[in-house]
Amino acid sequence: MTPGNHEPSEWTDGIRPYGPLSTLKPLADGLWWVDGPVARMNFGPVSLPFPTRMVIVRLGSGGLWLWSPTAPTPELFAEVDMLGRVEHLVSPNRFHYAAIPAWKARYPHATVWASPGVRERARSQKLDVPFDTDLQDAAPEAWASDFEQLIFRGSRFVEEVVFFHEASSTLILADLVMALEQERVQPRFRWLLSLGGTMWPGQTPREVQATSWGRKPQARACYQRMLGWKPQRVLFAHGRCYLDDAVAQLEHAFAWLR
């Protein structure tokens, strides 16, 4: 199977998620993704459904690195236990954190990493998330030999920590690009999601673009660094992934930065 590129499952809250859900799907040596349940995001008075996805990497140390953990199930916990010891739980931006407490409860020894703004966001939502330390532009020693990373700056709406897994040449993005497929979205939501710039073939959502006014040079510098990694594939939290011609598809998604 390939992430976000296989047959649709049943409708859930207006979305056909990328089933089977909450189970490991291998992509490369030491790299898995998990398609999670449909989640709702609020945009003012409007609530829209989105498919969710997490990524798991086995580090060179042997420990597991979990990016944007989705809502777990007992079966998923059991599968992850078979992989090895969970060492890191990573929030890539201020919108990806809600399931972390459940994973921390299961793996209390794991370090929980906070992205810019997520601590404040969690407090405003009255959710107690046990963050241990903060992500920076440079990869910490714990995974410096496995990943390149940077904080994608420029937008006043959100700053996201971007990761590049060197061994598999995989770029991992949460909300900097969304690419929901039309046939997986019911018409009652499709026009609003299209208006927000979240539909295939993918682009940076319009609220991120709009809130980068006056700061595009910062965003462009981050984008150029990402291109310099020359990823062969790009994984997203929401929608169909770029598994071929990754650089060309990224250039289309970030055309607003030209």
Q: What is the pLDDT of residues 77-136, one digit of tens each?
A: 999 999 999 999 999 999 999 999 999 999 999 999 999 999 999 999 999 999 999 999
Q: Note the pLDDT of residue 43.
A: 67
What residues make up the domain containing 141?
A: 25-257
Integer Cα distance of 189 and 14 in angstroms: 7
**Average pLDDT, whole number, for the chain?**
95
Residue 119: CATH number of its domain: 3.60.15.10
User: In this structure, is residue 6 part of a structural domain?
Assistant: no
Q: At 141, which amino acid appears? A: E
Cβ-proximal residues to 97 (8 Å cutoff; 6+ apart), any chain: 91, 118, 121, 122, 127, 129
User: In this structure, is residue 116 part of a structural domain?
Assistant: yes
The number of domains in the chain is 1
Among 171, 186, 190, residue whose Cα is nearest residue 247:
171
User: In this structure, is residue 16 part of a structural domain?
Assistant: no
User: In this structure, is residue 101 part of a structural domain?
Assistant: yes
Residue spans of the chain under pLDDT 50: 1, 8
User: In this structure, is residue 1 part of a structural domain?
Assistant: no
User: In this structure, is residue 136 part of a structural domain?
Assistant: yes
Q: Note the pLDDT of residue 45.
A: 74
User: In this structure, is residue 50 part of a structural domain?
Assistant: yes
Integer Cα distance of 80 and 110 in angstroms: 13
User: In this structure, is residue 81 part of a structural domain?
Assistant: yes
Q: Note the pLDDT of residue 205.
A: 96
Q: What is the pTM of this model?
A: 0.95
239 DSSP β-pair partners = 179
Among 130, 140, 133, 141, residue whose Cα is nearest residue 115:
133
